[in-house]
Structure 1
């Protein structure tokens, strides 16, 4: 885990309220070159009225406009997030079917953006949005920052899910000694091959332990697994 990720993780783990999560997210977004940030989390319970948590540092005028115009129902980034986990870079094509929304957003300074969806095994769905009014996103920037944006989205997703979803007690999840060892190295950014070398076990065995832990903690990937394990005090 690089220094930037470790700093963000420690900040998020220390956040006890959604407002603190937003403060840390905004700081991380600025470090990545974005003025605005948002995270929306949809929790599927109760079935009759799923809970929707929305955090952002948008201007008050844009928040009011978004609500009064019912843009949640036509926002193409939300529709995209429901069907893909790939990053979405804003463009004229993306907003072609929602021109009034697009023009309104641009008028409020949201001209260039990056959206990244997140999902987990509990059915929670989230969307990280980073935006700015200046400088279009370059291919080089996307290549350089892609991993960090995806990581940040997953880290925020796990933090907010922990605040709002029904939490599993730490003592309800048991990791074996070997699983805990594999997870510690994985959380530090080691690949399965590197963990294999350090623990003197086969790479296949490493992946076996990782897959078991993904199931135990209901995590969709290794980043979410590490964040959730740290939050629950399992490593």
Structure 2
């Protein structure tokens, strides 16, 4: 039995972890498939290769985005250990249990909202908590929230969701571009009696919605898994 979570058999946990990975991979493949299909509708085989290149860029450069840069975009300010020693102790303890390469850098967001978020990879990451969260939660409750965020870092969920967001945004952009082309050319096609591919038109209209639904399902899967991992860490 796992000493961190004695109620769950290790084999059951491993089965769940693999099922979650396969589910996530399937949903990413679905989103990538929509993107490639739109590329094919607009530009043929060359469009498919273009979309594959978009995916390759996301895979290659997604993990290289600096956590510090992301934190600056959110207006987060770095904390020093002397300012919140107990908070740093919790982050370091959870990071050791999660077997991260190094503990995340800790940031503070001057907001009354109850929120926390993490960015980065197990090799380089950062976690931010809002002022409202620090004021409203006790240390035990805060530990649960931080365990959830560190679980996201450990599982590289942030990179996965960034890739999914790239696919979703690219699908929406191609859909709008395709609908514009249809709007411009449809009158000419009707005048000259050209065949209208209604399947392609419907795909252009509904592909962004279907891709967004896949992204939501992927997000739910990663959130549930982070909750279970957080239970193991705490």
What TM-score results when the alignment is normalised by the length of structure 1?
0.25
Which of the pair is proportionally richer in helix? Answer: 2
What TM-score results when the alignment is normalised by the length of structure 2?
0.25
Which of the pair is proportionally richer in strand? Answer: 1
